[in-house]
C-alpha cells in the first residue's frame, strides 16, 4: 500500500493527465529516431499487421504479472508454405524491463523485412523462406514502468513479483524517489568537510576520492530518494527481485546459487506463457534475444560445467557470430560463461537445450560510441572499475559528448535540494535515457546494423534440396535408388547438440509406394566405393541430419515397379516429397 501511495503522491497527477492524452498515431514504415513506450510498441505491432495483413499475424502470447499483454508478430508468406514447414527464426527483446532499445531492434527487423518485401530481391527471398516470430517486449511490465516511472538507466529490470528484500514483512515498500520531479532517479551528494570525495579540478561535475589527510568536500548518498517506510534505511526495497533471464527451466538453480531465479522455474506468468508459445513452434532453429549493453553477441552454454557444444555446432556459432561482429562494428562475439559470467536458468540455455535452436544474446550499445575526439586522438581508456565509475577520462569524454553533441540531454547538472533527512543536498548525474541507451539520433544506426546481423543468420537457415540421383535397374524388378539431401546454407537441419542429446526427433527420409518394397537401405558413406551402412529394421525409414554446407546420401534396394514416393520430413527444415517412376 505504501508503494502505491508514494506513486500517487509523486507522479499520480502527472500520470493521470498522460492517460487522458490521445496516443500519437503510429504509421508504417515505422520511425526509429524515437523510442516506443509499452502502449506505442503494441500500437506499432498492430500497425505493421494492418499494413501487411497477408504476410503477418499477431498472437497474444499471454499476460504479465500486472495483466499487460505480451504480443508476438509472425511474419510468414502463406503462399510459400505453412509456418511450421519452414525454418523458424525467433527474435525477442526487452526481457530486462530497462533494456528498451531491444524492442526497437525487433520492431525495425519486422518493419524492414516487410517494407522491402517485393522490392529488395534478397529480402523478398528471405521473407519467403523462413517463418519469423518477433516478440519485441518480453517484460512488458518492466517496459511500462521504465517509461512511465522515474528510473535510473538500470532500474526496473525484473518481474513485478513482489519480494520483501529486507525481510521486514513489507513488500517493495521503499523504491528510490524522484525528489525533484524530473522523471529521473539520479544521485545525491552533500557538502561535507569529512567526506571521502572532492571536486575533480578538470570537471566540477565529477568527484575524485580524497587522499589520506586531504580535506574532503562531498559525501555520496546514493540514489535519489527518501526513507518511505521510516525504518532508517533509504530505498532498501524496490520491485522484485525476480530476474526474468534466470527463471527458465534449464540448468535453473535456487536464489542462494543464482540471484533472482525465484522459487521455481517459470514462476513468471508471462515467461511461462512465452515458453509455451515457443514450445508450440518446434520449427525454431535460430534465435536472437536482445538486451543491453556492451556491444556483444553472446552464445552459450551459460555455465562451464555444461561443457561446450559439439565442435560442429561451435563452427556454426563461429560462422554466424564472426560475421555479426563485422556487421556491427565494435561488437564482440563471445562465449557467455567464459568471457562474461556464468548464468543459471537463462533463456539461451533453454533455447539451446530444450528447443534445439542456435541462440545468440545481443547486448546492444556501447557508450564507447559517445565520442568527442579529433581524428588522430585515440580512444580514452576507462581507468578501472565498473561502467558507472566516475572520474575517468572516458567519463569526461562522455560528458563532452553530452555537452556538445546532445546538448545536455544525458546528464543532469547538480542542483540544490532540501532533503527531509539529509538537509541541504545536491541531486545530479546520468539520466534514465542515458548510459545503456543510445541517444535517439544514434538509434537508427543501432537498429539497422543489429537487424542486419539477424538477417545474415536468417539467410543461413537450412535450405534442403532432395535429389534422386540414381534409379538403376540391377535385376528383374530390382532397383538401386540413391537419394541425396544437400544443404547450401551454414545451419544444419538440426543442431548437433540436439542429435547428441536426443532433444527431439531427427529428420526422416521415407521411401514407399503401392507396388514397391524396400529390401534394404542405409546411409551411403562412400559414393565411389559404394559403401553403405545398412539399417536393419524398416530400411524404408531412415533417420538423419543434413549438415550445413554439405550433403548426406542414402542408397536403397527396391523391388517392384511403378511409382515410388521419396519423402523428407524435418521438424525444422521443412518437408520435401518427390515421386519417381521405376520401370
Burial of 236 (0-12, 13-18, 19+ CB in 10 A): middle
- Of 99 and 177, which CB lies nearer to Zn ion in the complex structure? 99
Alpha-helical segments (H) within 433-494: 443-459
**In 3D, which of 355, 289, 314, 350 has the Cα closest to residue 571?**
355
What lies within 8 Å, CB to CB, of 364 at 6+ separation is 99, 101, 102, 105, 290, 291, 292, 293, 295, 446, 450
Shortest distance (Å) from residue 160 CB to Zn ion: 17
For the chain, what is the largest distance between any 2 Cα atoms, rounded to a whole number of angstroms? 104
Quick one: 68 or 96, whose CB is closer to Zn ion?
96
Partner that binds at residue 96, options Ca ion, Zn ion, none, CB closer than 5 to 8 Å by kind: Zn ion
Indicate which single residue of 166, 318, 377, 413 sits in contact with Ca ion (rule: CB under 5 A).
Answer: 166
CA atoms of 281 and 501, how far apart (whole Å): 20
Query: Between residues 70 and 518, which has the closer beta carbon with respect to Zn ion?
Result: 70
Total interface residues for Ca ion by CB under 5 A:
18
Place of cell 572516458: 394
Q: Which is nearer to Ca ion, 170 or 351 (by Cβ)?
A: 170
Binding segment for Ca ion (CB under 5 A), chosen from 12-20, 166-174, 320-328, 559-567, is 166-174
Q: Please, what is the minimum distance in Å from the beta carbon of residue 260 to Zn ion?
A: 11
In this structure, what DSSP letter does residue 189 have?
Answer: E
Q: Which does 291 bind (CB under 5 to 8 A by kind): Ca ion, Zn ion, none?
A: Zn ion
Query: What's the closest the beta carbon of residue 196 comes to Ca ion, in angstroms?
Result: 23
Q: Which is nearer to Ca ion, 82 or 233 (CB)?
A: 233
Which is nearer to Zn ion, 99 or 173 (by Cβ)?
99
**Nearest-5° Cα angle at 144, 139 to 145:** 100
When asked if residue 164 is in the footprint of Ca ion (CB under 5 A), the reply is yes
Please say which residue, 128 or 182, places its beta carbon nearer to Ca ion. Answer: 182
The CA distance from 244 to 65, in Å, is 12
Stretch that binds Zn ion, among 96-104, 234-242, 277-285, 397-405 (CB under 5 A): 96-104
From the list 264, 496, 488, 248, the residue with the least C-alpha distance to 361 is 248
The one among 40, 92, 178, 507 contacting Ca ion by CB under 5 A:
178
- Which CB atom, from 74 or from 292, has the smaller least distance to Zn ion? 292
Pairwise CA distance, residues 397 & 409, whole Å? 15
**Alpha-carbon span 347 to 99, nearest angstrom:** 15
Q: What is 15-64 written as a DSSP string? A: HHHHHHSPPPP--SSPP-SS---HHHHHHHHHHHHHH-TTTEEEEEEEE-
Q: What does 237 bind: Zn ion, Ca ion, none (CB cut-off 5 to 8 Å by kind)?
A: Ca ion
Choose the contact partner of 398 out of Ca ion, Zn ion, none; CB within 5 to 8 A by kind.
none
x-marked contacts with Ca ion along 217-246 as a string, rule CB under 5 A: --------x-xxx-x-x-x-x---------
CB of 139 to Zn ion, least distance (A): 9
If the CB atoms of residues 145 and 572 are measured against Zn ion, the closer one turns out to be: 145
User: Among 41-49, 63-71, 94-102, 211-219, which window interacts with Zn ion (CB under 5 A)?
Assistant: 94-102
CA-to-CA distance for 102 and 143, rounded, in angstroms?
Answer: 11
When the beta carbons of 237 and 540 are compared against Ca ion, the nearer one is 237
Write the CB contacts of 121 (distance below 8 Å, at least 6 apart in sequence).
Answer: none
Q: How far is the CB of 105 from Zn ion (least distance, A)?
A: 13
The entry of Zn ion, Ca ion, none that residue 225 binds, CB within 5 to 8 Å by partner kind: Ca ion
By a kind-dependent CB cut-off of 5 to 8 A, residue 39 interacts, out of Ca ion, Zn ion, none, with: none
Separation of alpha carbons 557 and 572, rounded Å:
28
Mind giving me the DSSP string for 78-114?
A: GGG--GGGS-EEEEEE-SSTT-THHHHHHHHHHHHHH
CB of 242 to Zn ion, least distance (A): 14
**Residues within window 281-320 making contact with Zn ion, judged by CB under 5 A:** 291
Residue 170 binds: one of Ca ion, Zn ion, none (C-beta under 5 to 8 A by kind): Ca ion
- Region from 19-27, 177-185, 194-202, 381-389 binding Ca ion, contact rule CB under 5 A: 177-185
Q: Which does 154 bind (CB under 5 to 8 A by kind): Ca ion, Zn ion, none?
A: none
**Candidate residues 128, 182, 308, 368; the one interacting with Ca ion per rule CB under 5 A:** 182
Nine-digit cell string for 441: 539520433
Query: Least distance in Å: CB of 292 to Zn ion?
Result: 7
> How far apart (Å, rounded) are the C-alpha atoms in residues 274 and 354?
14
Nearer to Ca ion, 235 or 482 (CB): 235
Tell me if 168 contacts Ca ion by CB under 5 A: yes
Instruction: State which residue, 176 or 539, has the beta carbon closest to Ca ion.
Output: 176
The reply to whether 96 sits near Zn ion by the rule CB under 5 A is yes
Look up residue 217 and give its three cell numbers. 568536500
CA angle 561, 562, 567 (to 5 degrees): 110
Partner touching 174 among Ca ion, Zn ion, none, CB below 5 to 8 Å by kind: Ca ion
- Interface with Ca ion in residues 183-212 (CB under 5 A): 184
Cα 218 to Cα 191: distance, rounded to the nearest angstrom = 5
Q: Which of 180, 325, 467, 567 binds Ca ion (CB under 5 A)?
A: 180
CB within 8 Å of 36: residues ≥ 6 apart: 26, 43, 44, 103, 104, 107
Residue closer to Ca ion by CB (options 35, 175) is: 175
Cβ at position 259, least distance to Ca ion in Å: 17
Sign of the CA dihedral 551, 555, 556, 561? positive
Chain position whose Cβ is nearest to Zn ion: 291
Q: State the Cα–Cα distance between residues 353 and 569, nearest whole angstrom.
A: 21
In the set 141, 177, 239, 540, which binds Ca ion (CB under 5 A)? 177
Question: In the numeric block, which cell numbers belong to residue 68?
Answer: 499487460
Q: Within 10 A of 325 (CB to CB), how many other CB atoms are there?
A: 17
Q: Site for Zn ion (CB under 5 A): how many residues?
A: 3
Pair 107, 136: CB distance under 8 Å: yes
Residues that bind Zn ion (CB under 5 A): 96, 99, 291
Residues engaged in binding Ca ion (CB under 5 A)? 164, 166, 168, 170, 174, 177-178, 180, 182, 184, 225, 227-229, 231, 233, 235, 237
Amino acid at each position: 500500500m505504501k508503494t502505491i501511495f508514494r506513486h500517487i503522491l509523486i507522479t499520480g497527477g502527472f500520470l493521470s493527465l498522460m492517460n487522458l492524452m490521445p496516443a500519437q498515431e503510429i504509421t508504417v514504415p515505422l520511425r526509429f529516431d524515437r523510442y516506443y513506450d509499452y502502449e506505442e510498441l503494441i500500437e506499432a505491432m498492430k500497425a505493421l499487421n494492418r499494413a501487411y495483413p497477408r504476410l503477418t499475424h499477431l498472437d497474444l502470447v499471454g499476460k504479465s504479472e500486472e495483466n499487460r499483454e505480451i504480443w508476438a508478430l509472425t511474419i510468414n508468406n502463406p503462399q510459400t508454405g505453412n509456418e511450421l514447414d519452414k525454418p523458424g527464426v525467433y527474435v525477442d527483446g526487452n526481457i530486462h524491463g530497462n533494456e528498451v532499445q531491444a524492442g526497437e531492434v525487433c520492431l525495425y527487423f519486422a518493419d524492414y523485412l516487410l517494407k522491402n518485401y517485393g522490392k529488395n530481391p534478397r529480402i523478398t527471398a528471405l521473407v519467403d523462406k523462413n517463418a519469423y516470430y518477433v516478440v519485441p517486449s518480453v517484460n512488458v511490465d518492466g517496459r511500462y514502468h521504465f517509461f512511465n516511472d522515474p528510473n535510473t538507466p538500470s532500474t526496473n529490470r525484473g518481474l513485478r513479483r513482489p519480494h520483501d528484500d529486507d525481510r521486514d514483512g513489507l513488500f517493495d515498500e521503499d523504491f528510490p524517489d524522484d525528489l525533484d520531479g524530473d522523471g529521473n532517479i539520479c544521485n545525491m551528494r552533500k557538502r561535507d568537510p569529512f567526506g571521502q570525495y572532492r571536486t575533480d579540478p578538470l570537471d566540477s561535475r565529477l568527484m575524485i576520492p580524497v587522499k589520506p589527510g586531504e580535506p574532503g568536500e562531498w559525501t555520496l548518498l546514493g540514489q535519489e530518494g527518501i526513507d518511505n517506510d521510516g525504518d532508517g534505511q533509504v530505498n532498501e526495497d524496490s520491485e522484485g527481485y525476480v530476474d526474468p533471464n534466470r527463471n527458465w527451466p534449464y540448468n535453473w538453480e535456487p536464489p542462494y546459487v543464482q540471484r533472482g531465479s525465484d522459487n521455481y522455474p517459470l514462476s513468471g506468468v508471462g515467461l511461462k506463457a512465452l515458453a509455451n508459445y515457443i514450445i508450440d513452434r518446434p520449427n525454431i532453429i535460430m534465435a536472437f534475444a536482445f538486451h543491453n549493453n556492451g556491444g556483444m553477441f553472446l552464445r552459450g552454454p551459460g555455465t562451464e560445467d555444461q561443457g561446450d557444444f559439439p565442435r560442429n555446432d561451435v563452427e556454426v556459432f563461429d560462422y554466424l557470430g564472426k560475421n555479426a561482429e563485422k556487421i556491427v562494428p565494435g561488437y564482440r562475439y563471445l562465449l557467455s560463461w567464459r568471457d562474461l559470467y556464468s548464468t543459471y536458468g537463462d533463456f539461451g540455455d533453454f533455447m539451446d537445450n530444450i528447443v534445439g535452436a542456435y541462440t545468440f544474446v545481443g547486448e546492444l550499445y556501447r557508450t564507447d560510441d559517445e565520442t568527442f575526439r579529433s581524428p588522430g586522438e585515440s580512444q580514452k581508456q576507462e581507468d578501472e572499475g565498473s561502467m558507472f565509475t566516475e572520474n575517468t577520462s572516458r567519463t569526461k569524454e562522455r560528458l563532452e559528448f553530452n555537452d556538445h553533441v546532445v546538448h545536455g540531454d544525458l546528464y543532469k547538472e547538480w542542483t540544490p535540494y532540501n532533503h527531509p533527512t539529509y538537509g541541504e543536498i545536491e541531486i545530479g548525474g546520468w539520466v534514465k535515457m542515458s548510459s545503456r541507451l543510445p541517444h535517439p539520433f544514434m538509434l537508427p544506426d543501432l537498429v539497422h546494423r543489429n537487424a542486419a546481423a539477424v538477417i545474415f543468420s536468417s539467410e543461413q537457415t537450412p535450405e534442403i534440396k532432395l535429389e534422386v540421383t540414381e534409379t538403376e535397374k540391377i535385376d528383374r524388378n530390382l532397383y538401386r535408388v540413391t537419394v541425396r539431401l544437400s544443404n547450401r546454407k551454414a545451419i544444419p537441419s538440426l543442431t548437433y547438440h540436439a542429435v547428441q542429446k536426443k532433444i527431439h526427433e531427427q529428420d526422416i527420409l521415407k521411401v514407399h509406394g503401392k507396388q514397391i518394397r524396400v529390401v534394404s537401405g542405409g546411409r551411403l558413406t562412400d559414393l565411389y566405393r559404394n559403401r553403405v551402412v545398412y539399417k536393419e529394421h524398416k530400411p524404408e525409414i531412415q533417420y538423419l541430419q543434413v549438415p550445413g554446407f554439405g550433403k548426406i546420401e542414402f542408397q536403397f534396394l527396391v523391388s517392384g515397379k511403378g511409382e515410388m514416393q521419396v519423402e523428407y520430413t524435418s521438424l525444422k527444415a521443412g518437408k520435401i516429397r518427390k515421386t519417381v517412376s521405376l520401370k
